[in-house]
Amino acid sequence: MRFMRNKNRKKAGVGILAFLLSLLLSMTALAAPSIGDGAPSEGTITVTKAGAGFTAYQILEASQSGDAYVYKAADAFAAFFGNQAYGNYKEEDVSKLNSAEEIKTFASQLHKFAVDQNLSGIAMESGTAATVKLGYYLVLETSSASEGAVVASTAMLVSVPQENNGAWNYNVTVLPKDNEPSLDKSILLGDRNTGTKRVDTSTASVGDKIMYEVTAKIPTYDKNAVNIKYQITDTLSKGLTFDSAQGVSVMAGQETLKENEDYTLNVIEGENDTKLVIDFKYDNIKGYADSGLTLVYAAKLNEKAVINSDATDGNPNTVTLEYTNNPDVNDSYKTLTDKVTTYTWGFGVHKVDSENITTDLAGAEFQLKDAKGNEVASYTYDEQGNVVVLTGNAKTMANGMVYFTGLGAGVYKIYEVKAPAGYSLLSEPVEVTITPVESQGVYTGAAQLAITNANSAASQADHIEMKDGNVLFQVTIKNHKGISLPGTGGIGTTGFMVAGAALLVLAGGLLTGYMLKNRKRAK
C-alpha cells in the first residue's frame, strides 16, 4: 500500500534535471553569450505556485569581468564552503555537480546550513518578481496559505542571469517541483547496502527476521510556529516481535539522528500488538525538509503468527505519521498511514491405514526438511490445540494428526523415520511445495500446496481450522501393513547381499579344505 507515492517514480524528472544542470555554469566563464557594456547588475526571480511563499538565499555573487561573469561565495555562505559538517564543498565543486542526486544533496546541505545559521533571505510571493543581485541562489518554499503546514517543493538552485537562446536572461521564472506529503513503508529483501528490493508483501517462516524501512517527508512552518508535533508510530501485529537488540536506525539525509537528542523511542507492548512511538524534536529535524527521514528496524515472526491458507489474513505492520497541520490551532493534526504484510503457512499430516482411510494411525514419527536437506525448525500443535515448539521428531497423535506451522513459501520434504506399529515405513519422502498467490505483483495471503513427487501414498485433503482460528493445509499419508525391510535405514539390501556372499565364500573354503583332508587320508 502506498499513500500518494509511487515507489518507481524518479526522484527528479528528466525536465527538472536538465533545468538544474543548465544552471550550474562554470565558476569562471563558459562558452556563453558576450556581455555588453552597461549590462544589468541586478535581475529578478519569479516563482509560481499558488498560495506559496518562498525565500531566496544568495550562495554565490556574480560580477562582470571583461566579457564573462566570475563567481565567489556570498558572505553569508562563506562558512559553508570547506565545512566538514555540510559536505566539505569547495566553490569550484558547484560546476562539477553532474546528476540530479548530487544537486539534490548539495541543495539539502545548503538548506541545512541556512537553517542552522538562522540566515535571513529574500522573501518572495508566488507570481511576484523579486529583485536580486546577480549570482546563484538557493530558493526554498517556506510558507503556504493552506493549512499552515507545508511539505516544501524541491529546493531549487537558480542562476541570475541565465543563458537563453544565445542571450542572457536577467528575469528568471521558476516553476517548482512539489514534494507531495508522503509516508511509505516497505519490507526490505536482501542486503540493504548491496541492492535491496523493497516490497509491500513477503513470506517468512517462524523465527525469520523481517527488515522494515519507513520514509517520510518533513513539513515546514512559519518561523514563529511553536509546539510542532511530528510523531511516527509503528504497530507490529501479535505475530511480530520487535528486535530490540537491533533497535531503530533513523537517518536524515546522510546523517544518523541520535535517540534522546533528536527523538525519543517508546516501546509499548500490548496483548495483541507492539507499538513503537517515535517522537521527533522538530527544531532538530527541520533542516532536513529536502531529504526527509529514513527509519530502519526489524522484527521476528513468532509463534503467534496468523496462518490462513486461503484468505487475505496475515501479519501486518502498520505505520502512522501524525504531524501538526495548523500551528495556530490547538490539536490540529494530519495523519498518514501505510501498511506492509508478511504471510506464513502450515500443514497438518494425517496418517491413515492404506486399506481403510478412516483408521487413524498414531505413533508415526516424521522429520521436515527443506529442498537442500536441512531439517526445518518448526512449531506444532499439541493435543490441546496450543502452538508449541517442535522438539525432536514430530509424532502423530491418537487422531493420526501431526502439524508443521509457520512455514514460508518453498519446497519441503516430509520424511517418515518411524512407522506405526505393524506398518512399513514410506520408501521415499513426501515432497510438498507452498506457492503464494499473487495479484498485480503483491501476495494476496492465499497459497497453493502441491505434492510434487507423485508419491501415491500422499494426497491433499481439505483445509483444517485450528482452535486459534488458523487454517492449515492437510496432507493425508497412507501406510501399508507389514514389516519394514531395512531398505530405508540400517544396512539395507546391499548389506544382506554382501554378508550372504561372504558366507558362501566361507562355506566354499571350508568345503575345499574338508575335501583335501579326506584325499590325504585316502592315500
Strand, helix or coil at 109? helix
- Average pLDDT of the segment spanning 202-213: 95
pLDDT in tens, 509-520: 554 555 555 554
**Which of 296, 318, 343 corresponds to the end of one domain?**
343
Q: Is residue 512 part of a domain?
A: no
pLDDT in tens, 440-488: 999 999 999 998 765 566 676 667 888 888 888 989 888 888 765 544 3
Q: Which residues pair with 171 in a beta bridge?
A: 44
Q: Is residue 407 part of a domain?
A: yes
User: What order of strands is seen across the sheet that includes strand 171-174?
Assistant: 130-133, 42-47, 171-174
Say whether both 144 and 251 belong to one domain. no
Q: Is residue 430 part of a domain?
A: yes
Is the pLDDT confidence value at 395 over 50?
A: yes
Residue of 344, 292, 319 lying closest to 473 (CA atoms): 344
pLDDT at 88: 94
Q: Can you tell me which residue has the cell 526527509?
A: 292
pLDDT at 499: 42
From CA 106, how far away is CA 154, in angstroms rounded?
A: 12
Say whether both 330 and 385 belong to one domain. no
Helix (H) or strand (E) holding 334: strand 333-343
Q: What is the CATH number of the domain that holds 451?
A: 2.60.40.10
pLDDT in tens, 101-151: 788 889 889 988 998 999 999 999 888 999 999 999 999 887 765 555 666
Q: Is residue 490 part of a domain?
A: no
Q: Is residue 489 part of a domain?
A: no
Say whether both 312 and 420 belong to one domain. no
Residue of 205, 281, 298 lying closest to 247 (CA atoms): 298
Say if CB 158 and CB 172 are below 8 A apart: yes
Q: Is residue 491 part of a domain?
A: no
Which structural domain range is residue 435 located in? 345-479
**For a pLDDT cut of 70, what percent of the chain falls above it?**
79
If one compares 226 and 235, the residue with the highest pLDDT of the two is: 235
| Burial class of 52 by CB neighbour count within 10 A (0 to 12, 13 to 18, 19+) | buried
Is the pLDDT confidence value at 423 over 90?
A: yes
User: Rounded to 5 degrees, what are φ and ψ at 448?
Assistant: -120, 140
| Burial class of 179 by CB neighbour count within 10 A (0 to 12, 13 to 18, 19+) | buried
| Full-model pTM | 0.68
**Which of 462, 479, 496 corresponds to the end of one domain?**
479
Number of domains present in the structure of the chain: 3
Instruction: Give the CA distances from residue 286 to residues 215, 225, 281, 282, 407, in Å, rounded to whole numbers and listed in that order.
Output: 15, 12, 9, 6, 44
DSSP 4-24: S--TTS-SS-HHHHHHHHHH-
Q: Is residue 24 part of a domain?
A: yes
Q: Can you tell me which residue has the cell 497453493?
A: 448
Residue of 356, 290, 359, 295 lying closest to 321 (CA atoms): 295
Q: Is residue 162 part of a domain?
A: yes
From CA 225, how far away is CA 327, in angstroms rounded?
A: 6
Residue of 118, 123, 114, 156 lying closest to 142 (CA atoms): 123
Provide the pairing of β-strand 345-353 with 471-479.
Answer: parallel
User: What order of strands is seen across the sheet that includes strand 387-389?
Assistant: 387-389, 379-381, 401-407, 345-353, 471-479, 458-465
pLDDT in tens, 491-506: 333 333 344 444 444 4
Say if CB 267 and CB 242 are below 8 A apart: yes
In whole numbers, what is the pLDDT of the chain averaged over residues? 82
Say whether both 337 and 202 belong to one domain. yes
**Which of 343, 368, 397 corresponds to the end of one domain?**
343
